[in-house]
Amino acid sequence: MRIVGDLARLPPTGINVLGIILQHGPLRALLAARRVNATLDRVGWIWLFNLLTLNSFPAAANQYSSAPVDTLADCAPASNHDEVMSRSAWDGTPSEDLVSQNQLSLVTVVQPERLPQLRAVLDVIDLYARHLAEQGSLVGISTIHTVRWALLDGGRRLLMASNYDGTWESYIDEFAELILSGLDSIWDSSYGFPELGAQDVAALKHFLRCHQAPANVFYSAYPAGTVQNILYAIKNQPDRSALP
């Protein structure tokens, strides 16, 4: 049945691939796909794509983290164009880890010269999410309830909004381990992103914290329910039509 489902997804996937090529051009579309897929060899069709395009993730330029030593200091913008959140912005907002889920809202400023490539990257990721990813998982990450990237202000800023299970620390660790190249392909267009990218996990976490917007309100319909628990309950709910 899975093979039949995969074959059924091929026509719309092919149409969307053609649309991305026509919109962004063959070279930019290929470069975007290579950037996104570089560390995702565990997915069969991505492994084949990487093999055919001789794609691999580049080695780190050095082994030293760019994370600040003083972790208690307030965030400082990376340049005059960068926008960061002050610690005072979190005063009076809901704490994390109050229920099974947390929210993550990030706003970064995009470097104008890298906006065209970012648009292509986001379209490649959208293609995967719509047509190729399994329901309830993002390339193996099953703790996500929702995640979305969107360009704001005509492409000047990039928003990420996500709800997820567990702690912030474990969520970012899982992201950095499982979709490393995807994170780099998205956020290396933003001011302040670490020089070594998401493989510098300490610097990545500092970058995310400094660009995370606090939420004044966070609603959870199932405070004790994780993604896996909710999917299990849906799958195993009783057949009420059979009841007397």
Q: pLDDT tens digit string along 184-197? A: 999 999 999 999 99
Write down the pTM of the prediction.
0.86
Residue 28 belongs to some domain of the structure: no
Question: Amino acid identity of 28?
Answer: R
Domain count, the chain: 1
pLDDT digits (tens, 9 = 90+) for 210-240: 999 988 888 888 888 887 888 788 888 776 6
Q: Give the sign of the dihedral formed by CA 93, CA 98, CA 103, CA 108.
A: positive
**What is the per-residue pLDDT across 1-54, written as a single tens digit (0 to 9) for each?**
445 455 555 666 777 889 999 999 999 999 999 999 999 998 888 899 999 999
Quick one: which of 84, 97, 88, 244 has its CA closest to 168?
A: 97
The predicted pLDDT at position 1 comes to 47
31: in domain: no
Query: 163 lies in a domain?
Result: yes
**Does 161 reside within a domain?**
yes
Sign of the four-CA dihedral 42, 48, 49, 52? positive
In a domain, 244, yes or no: no
| Cα pseudo-dihedral 186, 188, 193, 196, rounded to 10 | 110
Q: Is residue 19 part of a domain?
A: no
- When computed from its CA atoms, the radius of gyration of the chain, rounded to whole angstroms, is 20
Asked whether residue 103 is domain-assigned, the answer is yes
CATH number reported for the structural domain that contains residue 180 in this entry = 3.30.70.100
Structural domain includes residue 39 = no
